[in-house]
Amino acid sequence: MLIQRSDRYHSTMFSYRHAFHAGNHADVLKHTVLIATLQHLTEKDAALMVLDTHAGAGLYRLDGDYAKTSAEAADGILRLTVPGAAHVPLAPALQAYIDLVRSFNAGSNTKIYPGSPFIIQRLLRSHDKLKLFELHPSDMRSLSGNVAQLEAGRQIAVLHEDGFEGLKKFLPPPSRRALVLCDPSYEIKTDYGKVLDMVQDSLKRFATGTYAVWYPIIPRPEAHDLPRRLKTMAQKAGKSWLHATLTVKSSKITETLEGQTKRPGLPASGMFLINPPYTLKAELKDALAQMVQLLGQDRNATHTLESGS
């Protein structure tokens, strides 16, 4: 498989590459929630359509140039897959995530990390559909090549377009069952507003769909406003919601002994779902507590889990 291209695309518009962050603590949260959600949604026989608005390359090498540059997986998935990482049985939701990632790797070393498209594809049945949107030219080439080798035929569509706009033509789906995963980079501030517009529009088009939004928890007003506004949106629409966050370290900028400014990197992230599976909160309760235990980097490590209807 192509896994990911090693060429760099020098454009401010397309500067974000998920390959730098593959397998980090935010992916652990996002993909644990995604797997638990999909496992529930695929229990019903009726066909499911899944739409991934920012698909990325699909597969990532953790020993490749990008991942080694940031080494974020070392404090994410690699903490969970090293032999003897957990001294107690893991929560089923967290164990399901680790098992799925391991299924992409031979032996005990985790060298390949599956992005959302490949996690989703593993869990779909033959009559389900997957729509993948990706704008970045290099990631699009990698994604297309990786998906082609699955030989999934018409089950998977790879679309070189803006997912915020592209998903509109698929809602409502013929089967009247859909999961939308939205996890943009948020490097461009307007992404926060686009997420809110997308969810608002999608709820009008298809009120019973499940909408899952990942976002970074960083010192930026838009990042703090996003879950609050999604919650208001869900309540006004009379829809159930769930909000889970994972913090692994302090967000404070510190200075080294040499007087250099040290930025902490991403300290926390959240997942906000509208119309989540009713089983999800109970499944995440123990999984989040274990993520704090296993991924926490300082005494600020914590989690939150709330829901409403």
Task: For residue 121, give Cα distances in angstroms to 98, 109, 126, 132, 245.
Answer: 16, 22, 10, 11, 25
225 is catalytic: no
Q: Is 54 annotated as a binding residue?
A: yes
Q: Is 224 annotated as a binding residue?
A: no
Query: Residue 138 corresponds to which amino acid?
Result: S
Rounded to an integer, what distance in angstroms lies between the CA atom of residue 147 and that of residue 76? Answer: 25
Q: Is 298 annotated as a binding residue?
A: no
How many Cβ atoms from other residues are within 10 Å of residue 256's Cβ?
8
Beta-strand pair 254-255/261-262: antiparallel
Contact criterion met (CB below 8 Å) for 196 and 226: yes
Buried b (16+ CB within 10 A) or exposed e, 41-51: bbeeeebbbbb
- How does DSSP classify residue 278? T
Q: Is 134 annotated as a binding residue?
A: yes
Q: Of 65, 183, 191, 201, which residue is the catalytic one?
A: 183
Tokens describing residue 276: 């989540």
Q: Is 163 annotated as a binding residue?
A: yes
Q: How far apart are the first and last CA of the chain?
A: 43
- How does DSSP classify residue 19? G
- How does DSSP classify residue 261? E
Rounded to an integer, what distance in angstroms lies between the CA atom of residue 136 and that of residue 157? Answer: 16
Task: For residue 48, give Cα distances in angstroms to 27, 41, 117, 163, 165.
Answer: 23, 8, 15, 18, 20
* Sequence-ordered list of residues with C-beta below 8 angstroms from that of 207, at least 6 positions apart, any chain: 237, 239
- Give the CA angle between residues 8, 137, 160 to the nearest 5°: 160
Residues making up the binding site for S-adenosyl-L-methionine: 31, 54, 116, 134, 162-163, 183
Which residues are known to be catalytic? 183
Q: Which residues are annotated as a binding site?
A: 31, 54, 116, 134, 162-163, 183
